[in-house]
Chain A
Amino acid sequence: MRMRFRAVAALILLSPLSSYVLVAQEGHPLRGTWHGSWGVNAAERTPVTLVMDWDGANITGIMNPGARSSPLEKTSLDPAAMWQFHFEANYKDRTGGTARVMVDAKIQDVTSPHRALVGTWTQGEKKGDFKAVRDN
Chain B
Amino acid sequence: MKLRLVFAVLVIAATSLPTWAHHSFAAEYDGKKTVKLTGAVTKIDWSNPHVYFFIDVEDESGHVANWAFEMGAPGALKNTGWTRTSMKIGDLVTVEGTQAKDGGTHANARAVTLTATGQRLGAASSQGK
Contacts and interface: CB of A to CB of B under 8 A. Distances in A.
Check A-B contact in the complex, CB < 8 A. Answer: yes
B97 interface: no
B121 interface: no
A21 B56 contact: no
B66 A65 contact: no
A19 B86 CA distance: 8
Nearest to B38: A66
Interface in B55-90: 56, 58, 62-64, 66, 84-90
Interface in A20-52: 20-23, 32-33, 35, 46-47, 49, 51
Interface string B87-102: 1111010000000000
B45 A65 contact: no
Question: B interface, how many residues as a size bin?
Answer: 20 to 34
Contact of A22 (B85, B89, B90): B89
A80 interface: no
Contact of A65 (B62, B84, B89): B89
A25 B9 CA distance: 47
Contact of B44 (A19, A66, A67, A94): A19
Interface residues on A, range: 20 to 34
Contacts of A47: 56, 58, 62-64
Interface in A50-69: 51, 62, 64-67, 69
B89 A23 contact: no
Interface of A is mostly: loop
A129 interface: no
Contacts of B41: 65
B43 interface: yes
Interface string B27-58: 00000000000011111111100000010101
Given A46-B62, A47-B64, A21 B46 contact: yes
A66 B92 contact: yes
A47 to B, nearest CB: 4
A17 interface: yes
Contact of B56 (A19, A20, A46, A65): A65
4 nearest interchain CB pairs? A66-B40, A47-B64, A65-B90, A19-B88
Interface of A: 17-23, 32-33, 35, 46-47, 49, 51, 62, 64-67, 69, 94, 135
Given A19-B46, A47-B63, A51-B90, 11 more contacts: A17-B90, A19-B84, A21-B44, A22-B44, A22-B89, A23-B45, A23-B47, A35-B66, A49-B56, A51-B89, A135-B66
